[in-house]
Amino acid sequence: MSHQALFAIALFLLTYAFIISEKLHRTIVAMAGGILMVLLGILSQEDAIRHIDFNTLGLLIGMMILVSITAQTGVFKYVAIRAAKAAKGKPITILVYLSVVTAMASALLDNVTTVLLIVPVTFSIARQLRVNPVPYLISEVIASNVGGTATLIGDPPNIMIGSSVEGLDFMAFLANLTPIIVIIQAAILVCLVFIYRRQLQTTPELQAVLMQLNEKDEITDPVLLKKSLAVILLTIIGFVLHGVLHLDSATVALSGAFLLLLFTGEHYLEEAISKVEWTTIFFFVGLFVLVAGLEETGVIAKMAQAAMDLTGGDPLHTSLLILWLSAIASAFIDNIPFVATMIPMIHDMGSLGIDNLEPLWWSLSLGACLGGNGTIIGASANVIVAGLAAKEGHHITFLGFMKIAFPLMILSILLSHVYVYLRYFIL
């Protein structure tokens, strides 16, 4: 192994360690690592820029702009209150309905955005019914990670996989991941209802008060709502057709975002741009450059070869290894850098003899996205919700979360295991 490869590995591991330690903001660490790759001569600036996946970045930016404008209309509060009323104010049914709303929203929006939209109204509903909000928060965070797995745009790992693999378009994700995600979400909800059925109790009087709420009053700007929903619908149609139209997903998302800004006018421009999570965008930039260092120095190819040796190059064993490894790793470390490293490795496995890489991609997606449910630090949405809950006086401890979520994560990976085996190797 060359000196440059050793430098690249050392820098990568050091950066990874700093990201896990959370001593410094992960964006600063990732960018510093990426810049050092260039400063140390491991990569040229041209190579570094060539490896930055602008499709992933464009898709994230476009969706963030769309969501930030739509959120101002109050539509998410409207939907949550409608769901609570549809549940007749029964706390345990509300848990199911809010989880389903969260999972569906998360399939189309970023997970963190989804929980930031649903958590405030959850606190409000829980207070009205005088029940503990924590079961709702845990169910919602799990649903956001599960729902996000269903589509190309639901979770950053899927965005990265879809962006780097020719042919894995929006419809391919829908056809391959959505069916198993529906089953997993249903199974998890059955477990959650069983776990929380006694804890979530209220009085008929409080239920009656909730049924008197006027959800229509939550809509703050009906004109903006109509424009936002029309553009979101067009954008979704764009995602469905982007493979046929030979358009990258970023083109669809950015078209939607700036079409909405065209309709709403410059009044919304500054705020929409400022609400883009630039720290996340630069985190991705740093990671792409870091992983590029490993790729260019041949480290990724060696890792792929080692994984192939371990599984004997058998596609089934390799898929299942990726599924379980991704799940366990993602329960404890950020799934974005993990997936950024795995993507070139799986590409290399293709050149090392595995003909059909599709099961490997779906295994990576299922493992990395669902694995985040294992612990409170497994996904950004978990950390955000735990932080919000603690700020409002409801502490979700590491072990308290793990006691509920880790077995559910294992259940979801077992179901995925069976699905991958049956769908890609038996049927």
Partner 1 sequence: MLHYSFDSSLVEITEQKNEDDVTFTIQIKSETMRQRWKQVRFYFDDNKDYTDAFFYSHIDGHYEVIVRNDAVLPFLLQAFRYRCIESLAWK
Residues binding partner 1 (CB under 8 A): 119-120, 123-124, 127-128, 209, 212-214, 217-218, 220, 388, 391-393
- String of DSSP letters for 26-54: HHHHHHHHHHHHHHTTSS-HHHHHHHS-H
Residue 235 · residue 66 · CB < 8 Å: yes
- Structure token digits, residue 177: 């991941």
d(CA 343, CA 156): 13
Closest separation in Å from C-beta 242 to partner 1? 35
d(CA 386, CA 395): 7
Closest separation in Å from C-beta 125 to partner 1? 9
Nearer to partner 1, 71 or 240 (CB): 71
Residue 177 · residue 169 · CB < 8 Å: no
d(CA 189, CA 131): 19
Closest separation in Å from C-beta 394 to partner 1? 9
Nearer to partner 1, 353 or 393 (CB): 393
Nearer to partner 1, 50 or 127 (CB): 127
Nearer to partner 1, 114 or 326 (CB): 114
d(CA 143, CA 138): 9
Nearer to partner 1, 53 or 140 (CB): 140
Residue 325 · residue 364 · CB < 8 Å: no
Closest separation in Å from C-beta 388 to partner 1? 6
Closest separation in Å from C-beta 23 to partner 1? 24
Nearer to partner 1, 314 or 392 (CB): 392
Say how many residues make up the chain.
Answer: 427
Nearer to partner 1, 179 or 222 (CB): 222
d(CA 122, CA 58): 31
Closest separation in Å from C-beta 391 to partner 1? 8
Closest separation in Å from C-beta 343 to partner 1? 36
93 burial (CB, 10 Å; 0-12 / 13-18 / 19+) is: middle
